[in-house]
Amino acid sequence: MPASLPTPAAPAQDARRGVLAIPAFRKLWNSMLFSSLGDWLGLLATTALAQQLSGGSYATANFAIAGVFIARLLPAVFLGPIAGVIADRFDRRRLMVSVDLMRAGLYISIPIVHTYFWLYTAMILVECLTLFWSPAKEASVPNLVPRDKLENANQVSLLAAYGTAPIAAILFSLLTLLSGAIAAISPLLPSNSVDIALYINALSFLFAAWTIRGLKEIPKGSASKSNKDENVGQSLIQGWKAVSESKIIRGLIIGMVGAFSAAGAVIGLARTFVGDLGGGDAAYGVLFGSVFTGLAIGIAFGPKVFAQFSRRRLFGAALTTSGVFLVLLALISNLVLSVFIVAILGAFSGIAWVTGFTMLGMEVTDDVRGRTFAFVQSLIRITLVAVLAIAPIIAATIGEHRYEFQTIVLNYNGAQITILIAGLIAVLIGSVSYHQMKDRPTVSLWSDILAALQGELGAITGAQAKGIFIAFEGGEGTGKSTQSQLLAKWLEQEGETVVLSREPGGTDLGKDLRKILLGHETGIISPRAEALLYAADRAHHVFSVIRPGLDRGDVVITDRYFDSSAAYQGAGRVLNPSEVARISRWATESLYPTLTILIDVPAEIGLGRLQSRDRLEAEPTEFHERVRQEFLQIAMMDPERYFVVDGTQTVEEIQTQIIARVAELPALKRNADEPKKKRFRK
């Protein structure tokens, strides 16, 4: 064994608890919690106010509500990047405190002035102020939290930002129900729930100002330089360059934009939709709350429930499902049912959202990750603005309709019909991205779902590695050793650093295991013990040879990898191949090869090429034929990652075909400066 083992970073498990234990960060977090709660309440109140001000006109109400959302999003699109740069010039603590005080003032003024003009002006001003507040906060967090806890700080910040939405919705509904009682306590108190919500919002900002004032831990003076000075246009162009060449990433982004358009349509139309069904502000609050509750449930539990499911499939499927529920929402004119439908819809969108972001993080290489995320975020903002502007216009144009079929009367209004259209679009986009990213075309979705529920499948997307990982698979005497050596030679000529290894026996420990596994003197090993011994060899091989090689950016070639276990111990020894595969996934932490080359030869021919036979080679021909069929089936399930070559050809013919396939791998040095379009062709 090598004297020192490489130490890949251990998964951080208990860090989340840690970050809130830091008193200064906890204070900041508390203030964020209150101001987001206030902010959501303010959003609900302002949209409700826009509807109140419309004086009952359907079209005006739709436009007015759209106006609120657009007013909130536009400043970010145009001012975002500049605000970050300006914010960096001021003392952060003072900036945050002043901004919070001003936001509180603006929110108090909205119900007092009580006009459309001031509602929008105030919203835009609040948003502009927030654009200065956020970068100042972002820049302060690293002062309060050690580096290794930053990611957790982000997680809990997100929790504060979005987790408060359902609470705000519940609060808003309660306020609507209790507003009469509140007014009865004293004539001095406001009687309108919208006004009360806005005052509470103002209070939450005052509280935040007070908390931050006491945060002496934030160093005085301006923040160090920020790298966010790209404007939206630039980040869009740069980001598109980075992502446009990969089919999977394209599918992902199309899907995420689709998800947000559908969500935008629901959010923008929710108030009028509720009104159409005879509900008021309280019902609006409940509906809004159930979307976010669903979202939170989807985000928190989706990945756990579907842990074994291919993420790529899950993403498209979840998106399509939310589209279907959107269609249902539009068709069923019942307020109570809507609340449930919207919660399920939210849950599936939440699943699509987390899997989308997780995959984006995995599929995109380190150097362009920041740019890609900036790109996706800009794209999402712009889509939201567009959808929030367009959806109500469509709804207003469609107007109110009443259909009578003999005794049945159906009322379908603009909001419902627009939601129906949004649902159909979501279904369409969901299935497009499902097909763009399908990773097992021959396996039906249902069998995939069933298998996932039984815990038999692995998520196809393991952690991203830097180098290229190629595995050779096939039966006995198929020419794996011959071809892997030839390929290694060719790659070295191409300027790659190559690590050529094999299983079993790619490590010192593995050599001993190989002796046990293949020596005739071992005698019979129980099939499960045999599977575990191969897995042990593999785990150590990945840990000490393959991973380190990939981390260095090398090309790692292995003669046999985990499909050998599924084929030999599974199909050959008649264990369940997917159970055996599960052990391998655990052993390798789901490290999948970039490309697996399967050399296929009828068992008899391969065995005929051997000089002498080891323990496994001595098995009867039927055993080896089962092994061969299993290999072929595995390869068929994922044609993008498997290359099957006919091993009965000459050594040279096989080599030519293998090289042609490997030469396409985008990460090869020789492809680095080639026109990018060709690189991701199937």
Ligand X SMILES: Nc1ncnc2c1ncn2[C@@H]1O[C@H](COP(=O)(O)OP(=O)(O)O)[C@@H](O)[C@H]1O
Ligand Y SMILES: Cc1cn([C@H]2C[C@H](O)[C@@H](COP(=O)(O)OP(=O)(O)O)O2)c(=O)[nH]c1=O
479 in a labelled binding site: yes
* Helix, strand, or coil (residue 23): helix
The b/e string for 258-291 (b: 16+ C-beta within 10 A; e otherwise) is bbbbbbbbbbbbbbbbbbbbebbbbbbbbbbbbb
Partner interacting with residue 560 (select from ligand X, ligand Y, none; CB below 5-8 Å by kind): ligand Y
Q: Measured from the CB atom, is 111 or 477 closer to ligand X?
A: 477
> Segment near ligand X (CB under 6 A), from 286-294, 307-315, 362-370, 649-657?
649-657
Residue 216 counted as an annotated binding residue: no
CB of 473 to ligand Y, least distance (A): 9
Q: Shortest distance, CB of residue 615 to ligand Y, whole angstroms?
A: 8
Which residue, 256 or 597, has its beta carbon nearer to ligand Y? Answer: 597
DSSP 10: P
> Would you say 595 or 654 has its CB closer to ligand X?
654
- Contact in structure between 480 and 536 (CB atoms under 8 Å): no
Q: Where are the beta strands (DSSP E) in 454-554?
A: 468-474, 498-502
Q: Can residue 557 be called a binding residue for ligand X (CB under 6 A)?
A: no
88 or 476, CB closer to ligand Y? 476
The listed partner (ligand X, ligand Y, none) that binds 421, CB under 5 to 8 Å by sort, is: none
d(CA 465, CA 266): 39
Check whether 477 is labelled as a binding-site residue: yes
Identify whether the C-beta of residue 643 lies closer than 8 Å to the C-beta of residue 661.
yes
> What's the CA gap between 425 and 622, in Å, rounded?
51
The response to whether 606 counts as a known ligand-binding position is no
519 annotated binding-site participant? no
Tell which residue, 661, 506, 503, has the closest CA to residue 597.
661
Question: For ligand X, which stretch binds (CB under 6 A), given 309-317, 402-410, 647-655, 672-680?
Answer: 647-655
Q: Does 612 bind ligand X (CB under 6 A)?
A: no
**Closest residue to ligand X: CB criterion:** 479
Nearest distance from residue 605's CB to ligand Y, in Å? 14
Asked if 70 and 388 touch (Cβ cutoff 8 Å), the reply is: yes
d(CA 355, CA 455): 18
Q: Are 262 and 391 in contact (CB under 8 A)?
A: no
**493 part of the interface to ligand X, by CB under 6 A:** no
The Cα–Cα gap between 244 and 364 comes to 11
- Tell the smallest beta-carbon distance from residue 650 to ligand X (Å): 6
Q: Which of 651, 661, 663, 669 binds ligand X (CB under 6 A)?
A: 651
CA distances for 179 relative to 57, 114, 184, 285, angstroms? 24, 18, 9, 14
Q: Shortest Cβ distance from residue 569 to ligand Y (Å)?
A: 6
Q: Quick one: which of 480, 514, 585, 626 contacts ligand X (CB under 6 A)? A: 480
- The correct pick among 456, 589, 617, 664 for binding ligand Y (CB under 6 A) is 617
Residue 534 interaction partner, one of ligand X, ligand Y, none, beta carbon < 5-8 Å per kind: ligand Y
Scanning 174-182, 367-375, 379-387, 496-504 for contacts with ligand Y by CB under 6 A, the matching segment is 496-504
Residue 568 engages ligand Y in binding (rule: CB under 6 A) = yes
Confirm or reject binding of residue 479 to ligand X (CB under 6 A): yes
Binding of ligand Y at residue 565 (CB under 6 A)?
yes
Please, which residue, 62 or 569, has the CB nearer to ligand Y?
A: 569
Is 399 annotated as contributing to ligand binding? no
CA dihedral 359, 364, 368, 369 (to 10 degrees): 20
Residues 158-187 that bind ligand Y (CB under 6 A): none
Indicate whether 481 belongs to the interface with ligand Y (CB under 6 A).
Answer: yes
HSE of 207 in the Cβ direction (CA atoms, 13 Å)? 19
The least distance separating ligand Y from the CB of residue 520, rounded to whole angstroms, comes to 13
CB of 477 vs ligand Y, minimal distance in Å? 7
564 binds, among ligand Y, ligand X, none (CB under 5 to 8 A by kind): ligand Y
Angle, helices 311-331/335-363, rounded to nearest 10 degrees = 160
DSSP class of residue 9 equals: P
Was 481 annotated as part of a binding site? yes
504-563 binders of ligand Y (CB under 6 A) = 504, 518, 534, 560
Residue 225 to residues 79, 86, 87, 218, 347, Cα–Cα distance (Å): 18, 11, 10, 16, 39
Residue 412 tokens, joined = 């379908």
Residue 293 vs 478, nearer CB to ligand Y: 478
Q: Are 603 and 628 in contact (CB under 8 A)?
A: yes
SS3 410: strand
- Smallest distance from the beta carbon of 653 to ligand Y, in angstroms? 20
Contact status: 616 vs ligand Y (CB under 6 A): yes
- Is 230 a residue that touches ligand X (CB under 6 A)? no
- What is the token pair recorded at 262? 């559908």
CB 27 within 8 A of CB 214: yes
Q: Does 569 bind ligand Y (CB under 6 A)?
A: yes
CA proximity to 7, closest of 585, 592, 548, 550: 548
**18 labelled ligand-binding:** no
* Positions at the binding site for ATP: 474-481
* Positions at the binding site: 474-481
Residues at the site binding ligand Y, with contacts judged by CB under 6 A:
476, 481, 502-504, 518, 534, 560, 564-565, 568-569, 616-617
Residues at the site binding ligand X, with contacts judged by CB under 6 A:
474, 476-482, 609, 647, 650-651, 654
